[in-house]
Amino acid sequence: MKFFMKLTATVLLLLASISALAYFLWYKPKPGHLAAKTTFKPKKDETGKTALLRLKQKAEIIAAYAKAHEYNTVYCFMVDMKIESGKKRFFVYNLQKDSIELSGLVTHGSGRVQSSEVQFSNEANSLCTSLGKYKIGGSYTGKFGLAFKLYGLDNTNSKAFDRFVVLHSHSCVPNEEIAPSGICESWGCPTVAPAFLAQLKTYIDKAEDPILLNIYY
């Protein structure tokens, strides 16, 4: 009996050791999140042709604003917050060709109140995305690496700079679409994948005039 009990204990200890070793060797934790994933889902008619039509309409407004205020009239960055976060909703738009050149995933703010709907706010400490036009400013190296300063140009995002809302990247944002799952959320910053930010940087660096970012809903 004692021999059987010792044998059983030895086997259990061996299995526990193997499980622990497997955990450390093969377990890969999920990327660090800025916040919990969203449960926000768009309405059924907010994708496809409707989203493209909305993009073109917003681009026309941005093109006129850019020309009147001496911003870049070739490219603008557009973010459609009616599109769910697991789908590409950050667009590099060619204003002269009236076409999308590049697209990627981007976060929205988590907000301080639990909700199944995406929230927007211009208030400090709201942790929300602010809608409106932004001037993309200079780059710097911050907590998340390369980042670009953002200056809100509307009443709805006028406090963006003071809230430290910037364009930056984070490893929790994937390169490809994962819908119907959502991606991580930010504290208000439009956050993209590192590889996508590197692509955006090439547009920003080559631009003679500041590029506009428009976040709309």
How would you label 58-95 residue by residue, b for 16+ Cβ within 10 Å and e otherwise? bbeebbebbeeeebbbbbbbbbbbbbbbbbbbbbbbeb
> For the chain, which residues make up each domain, given as ranges?
31-216
Walk along the chain (217 residues) and give the pLDDT tens digit of each residue.
444 444 444 444 444 443 333 322 222 223 333 444 433 344 444 556 799 999 999 999 999 999 999 999 999 999 999 999 999 999 999 999 999 999 999 999 999 987 778 999 999 999 999 999 999 999 999 999 999 999 999 999 999 999 999 999 999 999 999 999 999 999 999 999 999 999 999 999 999 999 999 999 9
| This model's pTM is above 0.85 | no
CATH number of 31-216: 2.40.440.10
